[in-house]
Amino acid sequence: MLATGLSGLTSSPEGAVAGKERSRLAPGGRFALRPGARLRLSQEDSGDASGFDGGKEASRKTLEKLTARLAELQELLYAGHKHSVLVVLQGMDSAGKDGTIRRVFEGVNPQGVRVVSFKAPTLPELDHDFLWRVHEQLPARGEMVLFNRSHYEDVLFPRVHGLIPRTTWEQRYQEINEFERMLTQEGTTLLKFFLHIGRAEQKRRLQERLDDRTKHWKFREADVRERLLWNSYTRAYEEALTKTSTTWAPWYVVPSDRKWFRDMVVSERIVHALEGLRMRYPSLPSGLRATHIS
């Protein structure tokens, strides 16, 4: 792997997007957190948009091509019924998880895609191990599932708010790693994105929700309370991402102050991963090949 000069991040030499249309993005592997490397979010530029030859306007055409290609690949995934894909989106409040889903996946067939969001555990869920509620939401063959917040909430929120002892959330890192290893060994492609937003940009977005009446529905009082715990969440994310970025399921730390750049990086990585599956449309069963429609 080629070093980029960014703390804990690596770059891969592979092409950005295979096929007729190639993204002008630098290889998305550049934002992959190397297993064993220590992440310091304060050293990562949340406003970085380097590696792309253009700005916001130019990005629209690139994203359109990536979105169209993703739609083709998702149809192949659904038709082939051999692989499954799990996309995990994590980030501070207002980092853009909803927006990423809306823009990156706008062209996919809803028949083969589900979005799951994990909130505070219910009482029945608390009576089981913390991964119990995750299992039933995993993608089946041919399906793509998007976790808008995920099982990682159980090593973040409880830690920051002191709801579980240190020994518990530290043990969960290894449990998550083994869980994700099992998924990949069973044929699930797992893509994990941490949407890295800066504190100043978060403030701007939250203020915008207050000032714009069309965005009032997005604002939650809890967002203000959680913002006061920014440093605690930063430390929790740094450790969680460091401990759970593995060779089989690395984290991508995506600069997210610029929404257009964030969307391109996430889209490019997903397209690249799906193309790596070398999927093809299934052939007609031999008994149907001579069929004629009259």
**What are the φ/ψ torsions at residue 282 (nearest 5 degrees)?**
-65, 150
Mean pLDDT of 32-36: 91
Under 8 Å CB-to-CB from 96, ≥6 apart: which residues? 195, 197, 256, 259, 262
The pLDDT mean for the chain works out to 87
pLDDT beyond 70 at 291: yes
Residue scoring higher pLDDT (233 or 4): 233
Distance separating alpha carbons of residues 202 and 207, to the nearest angstrom: 9
For 65-96, the pLDDT digits (tens) are 999 999 999 999 999 999 999 999 999 999 99
pTM over 0.85: yes
**What are the φ/ψ torsions at residue 192 (nearest 5 degrees)?**
-120, 125
Domains of the chain, earliest start first: 2-276 (3.40.50.300)
Q: Which residue, among 193, 172, 237, has the nearest Cα to 85 in the 3D structure?
A: 193
